[in-house]
């Protein structure tokens, strides 16, 4: 399945709404969308994954990669509302140790304010 991304500003950062699968096939699209945001100087990025049904091993690597890249520019990435299957995959790889996971957007935005 292909991927659609749409961004939306929030106080201090940007929410990237992702629809589709975060997989090897969609890696370039995801990287491009995220890099575009980072290179504008945005420091806080919320990945809304409510409409992501599947993340494969390449997708996990991309999440770690964008998180590392934002940290390098003193920013932070967080994940919003992962579906249960995606959440399970992320737990097995201990992703929450690297990237905060939130169930509502307000908490994610507040998380940024604290980090800032």
Partner 1 sequence: MERHGTSSVDCNDFSRSTGQTSGSDKTEAQQTALIVDDEPVSRAGMAARLKRLGYRVLQAGDGKAGLELLRRERPDLTILDWMMPELDGPSVCELVRRDPEVFSSQIILMTGHDQPEQIAEGLARGADDFLSKAASPQEITARVQAGMRAAGLIRRLKHATDEIRLKQEAIERELQSAARYVVSLLPPPGQLLPGLEMASAYRPSSALGGDLFNVLRWHEHSLGMYLLDASGHGVSPALRSASFSTFLREDNLLHRVGSSDPGAILTEANRQFPLTENGSYFTIVFVRLDIRTHTLFYATAGHNGLMLHRRSGEICYLAQPSLPLGFDGGNVYHTVETQLSPGDRLYLMSDGLYEVPSPTGELWGQARLETSMREAAAKPLADALAHAIGAAEQWLGHQKFPDDVAVMGIELAG
Sites of contact with partner 1 (CB under 8 A) = 24, 27, 31, 57-58, 60-65, 68, 91-95, 97-98
Shortest CB 8 distance to partner 1, Å: 24
Which residue lies nearer to partner 1 by CB, 96 or 104? 96
Shortest CB 105 distance to partner 1, Å: 25
Greatest Cα pair distance in the chain = 36
Joined together, the tokens standing for residue 23 give 């997989």
Which residue lies nearer to partner 1 by CB, 18 or 62? 62
Which residue lies nearer to partner 1 by CB, 29 or 110? 29
Which residue lies nearer to partner 1 by CB, 86 or 95? 95
Report CA-CA distances (Å) from 65 to 11, 14, 70, 76, 104.
24, 18, 9, 12, 23
DSSP state letters, 38-71: HHTT--EEEEEEEEEEEE-HHHHHHHHHHHHHHH
Give me Rg for the CA atoms of the chain: 13
Shortest CB 42 distance to partner 1, Å: 20
Shortest CB 61 distance to partner 1, Å: 3
């Amino acid at each position: 399945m292909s991927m659609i991304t749409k961004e939306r500003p929030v106080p201090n950062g940007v929410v990237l709404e992702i629809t589709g699968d975060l997989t090897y096939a969609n890696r370039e699209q995801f990287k491009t969308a995220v890099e575009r945001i980072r290179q504008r100087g945005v420091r806080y990025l919320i990945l809304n994954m409510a409409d992501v049904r599947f993340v494969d091993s390449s997708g996990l690597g991309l999440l770690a990669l964008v998180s590392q890249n934002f940290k390098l520019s003193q920013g932070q990435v967080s994940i919003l509302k992962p579906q249960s299957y995606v959440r399970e995959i992320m737990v097995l790889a201990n992703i929450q140790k690297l990237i905060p996971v939130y169930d509502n957007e307000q908490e994610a935005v507040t998380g940024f304010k604290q980090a800032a």
